[in-house]
Every structure is written in structure tokens, then in C-alpha cells.
Amino acid sequence: MKELIKLCLAAAISSGCTYSVHQVALGNFDDLPPNARLRPIEAQAAQKVFVAAGDTDFADEAMRELAARCPRGQVVGIQARHSTSLGFFVYTNKLKLSGYCVEAPSTAAASNTRAVVD
């Protein structure tokens, strides 16, 4: 019985330490204007779930937030990471979207077509 209690305590303390990454998707960088400045942006949304989830609206929220972080530019190279923080009856679904906001290219443009990451 004492061993069982110790095990339960150890399990409760260690819950929330494990994760599962389900998917990583990455978009292209192939239509950048010359000498574009790439500003890293990211957005993340999470959904705490008790046993079972009712919807997947957290993904839509992350998408809206990412677009809002670059309201006047183009967003390229979007990486989408879908993961879950596992836990004791409660787990957290997460969607993290990161990308690069392309502002207007520099006026001191060049024959060099390298992009610049801020």
C-alpha cells in the first residue's frame, strides 16, 4: 500500500513532463523579392482538455493571430507545429505557427538577391 502511494505521488509530480509532437509542416521561401527583410513572427494557441475535446477552434485562433502580426506584409516560410502536453486526465493541445514577415524590400537594393533576417 505504501509503495502504491509513493508511486501515485511520483506519477502526480511527474505529470505534465511529457509531450507528443504530432506534426511539423514547413512552407516555402521561394517567392521573396530581392533583398527582402525577414522579420520572425510567431503565434501559439493552446486548448486545455479534460478527457476529450469538443472542438479544434484553437487552431483557427493561432492562424488569426499569426496573420495579425504581419498586417501589411507577406508571411513566408510558415512552420506549423501541432503537439500535445500530456497529463493526468488533463492534457493541452497546442498549435504553434511561426514564420517570417516580409516587409517592403530595402531601397538600397542590389544585384545580390540575399534575404536579410532581422
Site for other proteins in 77-116 (CB under 8 A): 77-100, 106, 108-116
Number of residues that bind other proteins (CB under 8 A): 84
Measured CA to CA in angstroms, residue 37 lies from 17, 26, 53, 63, 113 at distances of: 38, 19, 40, 22, 11
Return the SS3 of 42: strand
- What part of residues 10-29 is at the interface with other proteins (CB under 8 A)? 11-12, 14-29
Distance between CA atoms of residues 70 and 87, nearest Å:
34
Shortest reach from residue 105's CB to other proteins, in Å? 9
Per CB under 8 A, contacts with other proteins among 38-77 are: 38, 40, 49, 51-56, 59-60, 63, 66-67, 70, 72-77
